[in-house]
Homo-oligomer: A and B are copies of this chain.
């Protein structure tokens, strides 16, 4: 009997596309991830649907744009009834399992309206965004919030504290042993107080391996989302990763004075955010970036552990493996911290996909520059398991043709990404109405056009200006380019996949098979002769 197919979908949080060996970082070496790229396809033009955790993830988990799934911000519940990858996989008998972070918040009001207890089987499925939560851990656990299992693990290992996650795994210690708050950038150069093996990344890797071991007895195919919190802040790493990189590894900030002087109002407001002002300082970059690199290096090492484990268990031949991230991190580039806007540092992600089937042998180790959206993964997984991605719901496209060396002639010509800053100080600074805090990116592989509701657009030419330092949004010589990309945005905005209850097959059959007349609804037919002729034509016996 052949073993079931599985998908292992690894996601890092806030990992920039260019902070890997295989994507060109000069001093950060990631041999294990690079080896994964050699076994699969690395996509060099992959973009998230929103450069911030929650909305980006809801797009990954639903296969739909933010404008369609409606969860515009971290912690905004995904509406009850919004179909998820888990719903689609359930129909074809595949478990959709979570180990780590989703950033999902249950739609308690929606559940209540429908009389669904959040702790019932279906309630959990809905509240967990279609995942079976083997271990859910959203990665940020300030005191006063519900505690993760990881806290109990730390206590078992002897790390006593009111908040072990914060006080051991995400705090440093001063020379005198006093606790240093890991949330603060000034302490990013301290080592976490926890032993490496007890820090979050290896803990979560082990939990994934626990699941895989247990799943074997169950026998059903699974899609496991192994979702690490790192290298997301708190920027603090355990030894030896804390000391592995230093200021000498910090690349010069990608930025220019001109960016500041002629900044678009929305860009200017973001540059003025606390985190941007802080991350624009060399002192902060020199503390944060080496730690960020150390956290990535730790992930790379864990990838080695995980791949060895899969090989030992004989799962490499049946398991599709995906390595990606939910968005990037400016790290001080463009005078910015965090993510939020659409420069490649923020909106572009690393994406490696290993399809173990022989049909993918020809593409192993290649780089594909097709325009990819995060929403392509859900249909890819359904496709891999042999299901038919429901194309009236999913707005992404299966990557299988690309993995097998093809490039469909009608492959997308532009990618879209969105952002809603209504929850941020930027709204107040710009005095924008809540409904008008919207940004939309359209990128065609060269030109990146950004529509900002209520403001002029921004435009970058990544061919002439790959570092995205010159905003051409007011350059009249670019009017044609802007009109073309605006028109693409218009088309996109007018045609969301909103009619999720009616399949394309059903729609196609209706007119083609004259189902209205067949169902007895006779509209505007003149007389008996005309009715008979119609019935004869479509093969319905006379009444």
> Which residues of B are found within 8 Å of A523, using beta-carbon distances?
233, 274-275, 338
CB-contacts of A501-539 with B (<8 A): 501-502, 504, 507-508, 510-512, 519-528, 530-531
A183 CB contact (under 8 Å) in B140, B273, B525: B525
Which among A36-44, A303-311, A490-498 touches the partner chain?
A490-498
Cross-chain contact B87 with A521 (CB below 8 angstroms): no
A76 at the binding interface (Cβ < 8 Å):
yes
A502 CB contact (under 8 Å) in B76, B142, B284, B525: B76
* Bitwise interface map of A from 281 to 315 toward B, beta carbon under 8 Å scored 1, else 0: 00010000000000000000000000000000000
Q: Which residue of B lies closest to A495 (CB)?
A: B435
> Which residues of B are found within 8 Å of A116, using beta-carbon distances?
114-116
How far does the alpha carbon of A451 sit from the alpha carbon of B495 in the complex, in Å? Answer: 12
A240 at the binding interface (Cβ < 8 Å):
no
CB distance from A27 to the nearest CB of B (A): 24
A82 at the binding interface (Cβ < 8 Å):
yes
> Which residues of B are found within 8 Å of A168, using beta-carbon distances?
none
A428 at the binding interface (Cβ < 8 Å):
yes
How far does the alpha carbon of A500 sit from the alpha carbon of B79 in the complex, in Å? Answer: 7
CB-contacts of A21-40 with B (<8 A): none
The copy count of this chain in the complex is 2
Cross-chain contact A507 with B114 (CB below 8 angstroms): no
CB-contacts of A430-484 with B (<8 A): 434-436, 438, 440, 451, 453
How far does the alpha carbon of A318 sit from the alpha carbon of B29 in the complex, in Å? Answer: 76
Cross-chain contact B110 with A512 (CB below 8 angstroms): no
A107 CB contact (under 8 Å) in B68, B120, B436, B501: B501
CB distance from A189 to the nearest CB of B (A): 12
Q: Which residue of B lies closest to A516 (CB)?
A: B423
A72 at the binding interface (Cβ < 8 Å):
yes
A204 at the binding interface (Cβ < 8 Å):
no
The count of residues in chain A whose C-beta lies closer than 8 Å to any C-beta of chain B is 93
A68 CB contact (under 8 Å) in B87, B498, B521: B498
Cross-chain contact A494 with B451 (CB below 8 angstroms): yes
Contacts A495-B435, A507-B422; A520 near B81 (Cβ below 8 A): no
A237 at the binding interface (Cβ < 8 Å):
no
How far does the alpha carbon of A501 sit from the alpha carbon of B279 in the complex, in Å? Answer: 33
How far does the alpha carbon of A67 sit from the alpha carbon of B427 in the complex, in Å? Answer: 26
Q: Which residue of B lies closest to A420 (CB)?
A: B499
> Which residues of B are found within 8 Å of A524, using beta-carbon distances?
185, 233, 273-276, 278-279, 337-338
A181 at the binding interface (Cβ < 8 Å):
yes
CB distance from A125 to the nearest CB of B (A): 9
> Which residues of B are found within 8 Å of A243, using beta-carbon distances?
none
Cross-chain contact B142 with A284 (CB below 8 angstroms): no
How far does the alpha carbon of A495 sit from the alpha carbon of B489 in the complex, in Å? Answer: 13
Cross-chain contact A525 with B184 (CB below 8 angstroms): yes
CB-contacts of A226-264 with B (<8 A): 233
> Which residues of B are found within 8 Å of A486, using beta-carbon distances?
490
> Which residues of B are found within 8 Å of A409, using beta-carbon distances?
none
How far does the alpha carbon of A379 sit from the alpha carbon of B116 in the complex, in Å? Answer: 27
Cross-chain contact B512 with A77 (CB below 8 angstroms): no
Q: Which residue of B lies closest to A279 (CB)?
A: B524
How far does the alpha carbon of A107 sit from the alpha carbon of B82 in the complex, in Å? Answer: 13
Cross-chain contact B438 with A81 (CB below 8 angstroms): no
How far does the alpha carbon of A423 sit from the alpha carbon of B392 in the complex, in Å? Answer: 14
How far does the alpha carbon of A121 sit from the alpha carbon of B76 in the complex, in Å? Answer: 28
A423 CB contact (under 8 Å) in B80, B493, B511: B511
* Bitwise interface map of A from 199 to 235 toward B, beta carbon under 8 Å scored 1, else 0: 0000000000000000000000000000000000100
CB distance from A439 to the nearest CB of B (A): 10
> Which residues of B are found within 8 Å of A114, using beta-carbon distances?
80-81, 114, 116, 122, 126
Would you give 30 A-B contacts (Cβ < 8 Å), ordered by A?
A: A67-B496, A70-B498, A71-B501, A77-B501, A77-B502, A78-B501, A79-B501, A81-B82, A87-B113, A114-B126, A142-B521, A181-B528, A181-B531, A184-B522, A184-B526, A184-B531, A185-B525, A186-B527, A233-B523, A274-B524, A274-B525, A274-B530, A275-B523, A279-B524, A423-B511, A434-B508, A451-B494, A453-B491, A489-B494, A493-B494
Other CB < 8 Å A-B pairs besides A185-B527, A453-B495, 15 of them?
A67-B496, A79-B81, A80-B114, A87-B113, A109-B501, A114-B126, A144-B520, A186-B526, A186-B528, A273-B524, A275-B525, A423-B510, A434-B508, A489-B494, A490-B490
Q: Which residues of A contact B (CB under 8 A)?
A: 67-68, 70-73, 76-83, 87, 107, 109-110, 113-116, 120-122, 126, 140, 142-145, 181, 183-186, 233, 273-276, 278-279, 284, 337-338, 420, 422-425, 427-428, 434-436, 438, 440, 451, 453, 486, 489-491, 493-502, 504, 507-508, 510-512, 519-528, 530-531, 543
Query: Which 3 A/B pairs are nearest by Cβ-Cβ distance?
Result: A275-B524, A142-B520, A81-B81
